[in-house]
Amino acid sequence: MSFIKYIEKNKAEEIENILNPIVREWFFSKFKEFSLTQLYGVKNINDRKNILVCAPTGGTKTLTAFLPIINYLVELALKKELENKVYAVYCSPLKALTNDIYINLIKPLEEIGEIAKKKGKEMQEIRVGLRTGDSEQKERQKMTKKSPHILVTTPESFAIVMTSKKFIENLRGVEYVIVDEIHALTNKRGVYLSLTLERLSDISIIEPVRIGLSATIAPLEEIARFLVGVGRECLIADVKLMKKVEIGLNFPGGNIIEAESIENQRELYYILDELIWKHKTTLIFTNTRAATERIIHYLDLHFPGKYVGLIGAHHSSMSKEKRFEIEEKLRKGELKVVVSSTSLELGIDIGSIDLVIMLRSPKSVSRALQRIGRAGHKLHENPKGEFLVLDRDDLIECGVMRKGMIEGKIDLAEIPKNCLDVLSQQIYGMAITRVWNVDELLKLIRRSYCYENLTKEDFYSVISYLAGDYALEHRNVYAKIWYDAEKKLIGKRGKMARVIYLTNLGTIPGEESASVIIGTGERKGSVVGKIDESFLEKMKRGDVFVLGGNKYQFLYARGLKAFVSADVSKNPTIPSWFSEILPLNFELAKEIGRFRKLVKERLQEKERCIEWIMSYLYCKREIANEIYDYFWQQDKFSEIPDEKTLVVEKYKENKEYLMFHSLYGRRVNDVLARAYAYAAARLKHRDVEIGVGDNGFYIAGESLDENKIINWVKSKDLEKIVKEAIEKTEILRRRFRHCAARALMILRNYKGREKSVGKQQVHSEFLFVAVKKLSDDFPILREARREVIEDLMDIKNAKKVLEWIERGEIKIKIKKLPLVSPFGLNLSLQGKSDLIKMEDRVSFLKRMYEIHMRTINNKEEFKII
Amino acid sequence: MEEIINEEEGTKIKFVGKCLLIEKLKNLNKKRKKIERVLVVGDLHLGFGEIIGIFGINVGREMFNNIIDEMSEVFRKIGKVDKVILLGDIKHDFGGILRQEWSDVIKMIDYLKEKCKKIILIKGNHDNFLKKIVRKRNLKIYNYYFYEGFFFCHGERDYKKIWDKKVKYLIVGHGHPAIKLKEKKGNKVEKYKCFLVGKIRGKKIIIIPSFAEYYVGSEPREGEIILAWNINFLNFVVYVVGENLEVLNFGLLKNL
């Protein structure tokens, strides 16, 4: 029984025949012909089939979904049969939807209305309602009485209307649901939406048709199942618009080692300048907010005055208005160049960009495609992009990525499963709307693809949590729902339930940004900028970081204020991209490992090897030369690690280092590093430092016995080891706070008072300790652990790697070296990521006391009083 | 190990875990002498568990039991005393009285009654509504308390009487002092509750760590300790609270 089916395109006449004459006239007044995407999608949607439409950016996806719906509504409106209900829900993860919706929905409807008027046909008004977090109270109330026919919303606001007593009546007859940008929902927001969709199906008189719109993504079958849930059919329209990918690979300067130096950074700006003026509008992706600022700053320094008014920044820490302003300017063609961290990757139409430059690796093929898709957003233009890389690891990475783009190899997306925090919030929301039988509830939940395999134990542990069973005493005060185990019923508890739900709902954790304030000297008290909360959390007294091109030394934090000193001569101790870095995709990482092996096999014959690299990577000779040199150096100094050889280098600086050249991406390496570090820490009962990158990781400690360490970690124990290793880390606490907020254990908003993230932090800190004492199996605690090892890290693939090692498919080779090898250099410079704690607080205190007693000679100071 | 920090004229000040024990030799008459013992306890913040549990899970009970367990450990070591002084911030909620605060405060008083002859309650900045509760046990609340050269107050307000000649020691809470200890070569940092002992305008001052466990405390070097007086803590001696009521002298803060 196959529920998923790939489809072919329909004939243009078939679609033309569907359309009402007025809609047809409108369409051809705007477009010459149907786009390929429309040929795939329109008829099937009209036939009320669930469908996932996957097409590159600019493939007219949104209109494909709306055209048959508009057509249907126009026909009803002409017959005056439009009812006061929502016919279609359009849900998008983007909040700044207004403009897109105007183009794809409101304007077409207006124009169709005019055509009808001209023809003397009377037509009911087709109403479009926008409901996002920004919608005003008045608007919302109006909507309840006079229902929009098409409701445009976000996943969060969708859940709100699903809980609204009155509005829910307007939703019982929904016939279509469109989920746009579904590729950006392979996260907890998407998990959340999948349950909201099941709630919609549950209250619907007729099962709504589900339409998913996606940019290039894989595996499509999984995304399709994610869209429709369990037991429903889904068509897949894999629209292969033969857009030819035009993508360059380049580095500034003649020699890439020099490109890394400050002097040659100059070269970078000259190349950028040249590229910018060769094109109409250029979009530059930098991956991080800090780099975005730096690029703008230096372009101006190198070319004074040239970019005034022509350059704009766009990143997620900017205000909404500021970002919108930049988007508007882009659309109007007023800007020559826009520099973005990652924030412009997603959807909205941003006008006539004809070149996308990627500084630093985008870390996955689909992300790279998404980015260059921003150029030539119009249907028949080819996207054009340029990789500009600054170091040799990036050169190889982008080279292999580019090969994947050219050959159409897409990496795999993953959707989180059985998230108990999201589940808690949704069950709470459902209990507000009515009394549920728990079996019926579980059945509904399991219809979501993300909860298909939810165990009864997990389900009941969430019910127990919500019902206050973990509260030991005063059960009534703390419960969120009531649960009658005998009758198997649950329902709402307390008058505040609905308000609490509505003001705290959502899955995006409150990651606030912290103000950076000068804490000493003349400029004391002046605010110099903002940093992410997660970045602040990593900082320790004395750390030096870069913000807006200036260096600051961190003094202390008070809530969400970071006090710094501006008078710094030390070099930065924290790389500015630290908190924001994207992880390298596992599939792509393996491809690079394969490439390493193929080069290694050919290394002895220089000329042939270089030519092979040129043909394999479709690249210029100078790039192939550069790559060859890099491999040759590694080979001479140590050994080239590849997909079959895991090279582990041992060397000594102030500590002993074990550098594992495991090219699997940082999500996998994070797991492996923690497991090996845990083994090392256990052996010596001392803390061990780890550093994690995409190309490998290191562990560092006083003395490391590599054989014992490596043999101790076995794939079958990995989960247990890693769970233990993360138990005392900051990251688990932080994720616990996020999960606790999602599960409504910590409220962001209570009785109208917004709680600061700082306050939530103090509470969650204590809650974490208390919950652990109460029960180690508390569902939200387990969810935090799952999120860390499955979503943030990648235990599944890490386990796979260990199995390969155990089966001998990967050989470990230990190399003893005087210092770090060329391949390990970048990683060792990056600094440590975390500390695996083994020594407990009490023994650490004793050790510190002893050290202290030894160093203090002046006994006088003990006698101050 | 308890640290004795002064033994002038029959006065002993000892650290017992997070508490301070003052022993004073008193002449009842020419022949009979008696040692009076006073236990000082820092910020308790009873009821905090309920605040955070208001919509989450209830951890308040657990928290209160922990506090009583820890106190019992103190009394097990030092036996009964003459007076217990609670240095303010006895309860947590500024804005009213939470249901758990009622029971926690009453239970705490009843518990302490068994362990001492007299309970002195000092008002902290959190204690707006404490009066209502302790009335039930016929107790008063003081803004400050003077005893044999010792001046006790919460620490968020200054009092003229502090600067009287009779006062030798100023004992305050409020600051929740805690110290971060850092490995010289490594990256390990841990924070521990501590006493800060130093001088202020000719008086000796001891800042007592909070008794409440939910929050370790504030680091004097990070400007987090705010008292009624401007104090440079660098010349203060740090006594770190360790395991089993042990307190370790780490010397001057500036040398740490």
Among B101, B93, B81, smallest CA distance to B37 is for B81
Is pLDDT at B55 greater than 50 in this prediction? no
Rounded CA gap, A169 and A823, in Å? 62
Nearest CA in chain A to B64: A770
Q: Is the pLDDT of residue B73 over 60?
A: yes
Structure tokens at A26: 């409108």
Q: In what order do the strands lie in the sheet with A513-518?
A: A527-532, A513-518, A561-565, A550-558, A544-547
Could you give the ipTM of this predicted complex? 0.79
Which residue among B192, B198, B214 sits closest to A845, beta carbon to beta carbon? Answer: B192
What mean pLDDT do residues A739-750 have? 78
In this predicted model, what pLDDT tens digit does every residue of A679-688 receive, in sequence order? 998 888 888 8
Nearest CA in chain A to B5: A865
- CA-based nearest residue in chain B for residue A831: B187
Q: Is the CB of residue B61 less than 8 Å away from at least one CB of chain A? A: yes
* B81-110 residues touching A, CB cutoff 8 A: 99-100
Distances (CA, A) of A592 to A248, A393, A399, A582: 18, 10, 9, 17
Residue A576 has pLDDT above 50, yes or no: no
Question: Contact B187/A478, CB-based, under 8 Å?
Answer: no
In terms of CA atoms, which chain A residue is nearest residue B51? Answer: A763
* Residue B40 · residue A754 · CB < 8 Å: no
Chain A residues touching residue B218 (CB < 8 angstroms): none
What angle do helix axes A420-433 and A155-163 make, rounded to 10 degrees?
30
Cβ separation B189–A480 shorter than 8 A: no
With CB atoms and an 8 Å threshold, state whether A763 touches B52: yes
Question: Which has the closest alpha carbon to A543: A832, A838, A293?
Answer: A832
DSSP β-bridge partners for residue A150: A88, A128
Q: Does B199 touch chain A (CB under 8 A)?
A: yes
pLDDT digits (tens, 9 = 90+) for A802-811: 999 999 999 9
Distance of CA A635 to the CA centre of its chain: 36
Nearest to B242 among A555, A745, A845 (CB): A845
pLDDT at A75: 96
Find which of A742, A759, A852 to mutate to test the B interface (most B CBs within 10 Å of its CB).
A852
Interface probe with B: pick from A461, A466, A473, A478, most Cβ of B within 10 Å: A478
Bridge partners of B180? Answer: B191
**Cβ-Cβ contacts under 8 Å, B5 against chain A:** 865
| Paired residues of B240 in beta bridges | B194, B248
CB atoms A770 and B252 under 8 Å? no
The token duo for B113 is: 């009654």
CB contact under 8 A, A845 and B190: yes
Spell out where A485-526 has E strands.
489-492, 513-518
Give the range with max mean pLDDT: A503-517, A556-570, B70-84: B70-84
CB-based contact A747 B55, cutoff 8 Å: yes
pLDDT of residue A519: 84
Select the residue of B63, B190, B248 nearest A841 (Cβ to Cβ): B190
Q: What is the mean pLDDT of residues A548-571?
A: 75
pLDDT mean across residues, chain B:
86
Contacts of A744 in chain B (CB under 8 A): 55
User: What would the pLDDT profile of B23-33 be if each residue is shown by its tens digit?
Assistant: 988 887 878 88
CB-based contact (8 Å) between B7 and chain A?
no
Q: Is the confidence at residue A283, as pLDDT, over 70?
A: yes
Within 8 A of B221 by CB-CB distance, chain A residues are 541, 556
| CA B243 and chain centroid, separation | 17
Q: How far is B48 from chain A (nearest CA, A)?
A: 10
DSSP letter at A573 equals S
Residue A578's pLDDT band (boundaries 50, 70, 90)?
very low
Q: Which chain A residue shows the shortest CA-CA distance from B225?
A: A558
Q: Using a CB-CB distance cutoff of 8 angstroms, which residues of chain B are in contact with residue A773? A: 62
Where does the pLDDT of residue B216 fall: very low under 50, low under 70, confident under 90, or very high at 90 and above?
Answer: confident
pLDDT tens-digit series, residues B174-192? 999 999 888 766 667 788 9
- A478·B214 Cβ contact <8 A: no
- Please indicate whether, in this complex, the C-beta atoms of A747 and B256 are within 8 angstroms of each other: no
Q: Cβ contact (<8 Å) for B184 and A851? A: yes
Whole-structure pTM value: 0.77
Contacting residues of B for A480, CB less than 8 Å apart: 55
**Structure-block tokens of residue A124:** 């009911």
Q: Using alpha carbons, list the distances in angstroms from residue A823 to A71, A401, A654, B14, B112.
A: 59, 19, 20, 58, 66
Chain B segment 236-255 residues within 8 A of A by beta carbon are 237, 240, 242-243, 248-252, 255
A750/B242 CB distance under 8 A: no
B184 contacts on A by Cβ (under 8 Å): 851
Q: pLDDT for A345-401, tens place per residue?
A: 875 667 778 899 998 889 999 889 888 888 765 545 677 899 998 888 889 999 999
Q: Chain A closest CA to B232's CA: distance in Å? A: 15
Share of chain A above pLDDT 70, in %: 85
Tell me the three state secondary structure of residue A566.
coil
Rounded to the nearest angstrom, the minimum Cα separation between A70 and chain B is: 45
Say if the Cβ atoms of A745 and B55 lie within 8 Å: yes
For residue B52, which residues of chain A lie inside 8 Å, CB to CB? 746, 763, 766-767
Given the DSSP bridges, would you call strands A337-340 and A436-437 parallel, antiparallel or unpaired?
A: unpaired
Q: Tokens 């929905």 sit at which residue?
A: A105
CB-nearest to A865 from B192, B197, B251 is: B197
The single residue listed with the structure tokens 């000092």 is: B122
Q: Is B61 in Cβ contact with A473 (below 8 Å)?
A: yes
The closest CB to that of B214, out of A556, A766, A842, belongs to A766
Contact across the interface for B58 and A747, Cβ inside 8 Å: no
What is the pairing mode between strands A51-54 and A150-153?
unpaired
More confident residue, A796 or A1: A796
pLDDT at A865 over 70: no
Which residues in chain A touch residue B186, judged by CB atoms under 8 angstroms apart?
687, 689
Q: Would you give the distance in Å from CA A785 to the centre of its chain?
A: 18
Distance from CA of B3 to the nearest CA of A (A): 11
Min Cα separation B31/chain A (Å):
31
On chain B, the residues whose CB falls within 8 A of the CB of A475 are 58
User: What's the pLDDT tens digit per position in A437-472?
Assistant: 999 999 999 999 999 999 999 999 999 888 877 754
Q: Which of B7, B59, B189 to mutate to test the interface with A (most CBs of A within 10 A)?
A: B59
Q: What number is the average pLDDT over the span A24-37?
A: 93
Contact A747 B219 (CB under 8 A): no
Find the residue in B nearest to A564 (Cα). B222
Say whether A766 and B250 touch across the interface (CB within 8 A): no
Average pLDDT of the residues in A496-517: 75
Chain A: closest CA distance from residue B60 (Å): 9
DSSP structure class, residue A358: E
Alpha carbons A494 and A479: distance in angstroms, whole number: 9
Give the residue ranges of DSSP H helices in A47-131: 61-78, 98-101, 107-118
Q: Where are the beta strands (DSSP E) in B97-149?
A: 116-122, 141-142, 144-147
Complete DSSP assignment for A161-215? HHH-TTHHHHHTT--EEEE-SGGGGSSHHHHHHHHHHHHHHHH-SSPPEEEEEES
Q: Which chain B residue has its CA at the smallest distance from A690's CA? A: B187
Q: How many CB pairs under 8 A join A and B?
A: 137
Nearest-CA distance from A164 to chain B in Å? 22
Q: Is B215 on the interface with A (CB under 8 A)?
A: yes
Contact present, A599 and A627 (Cβ < 8 Å): yes
Has residue A642 got a pLDDT over 70? yes
Residue whose pair of structure tokens reads 């205000």 in the numeric block: A319
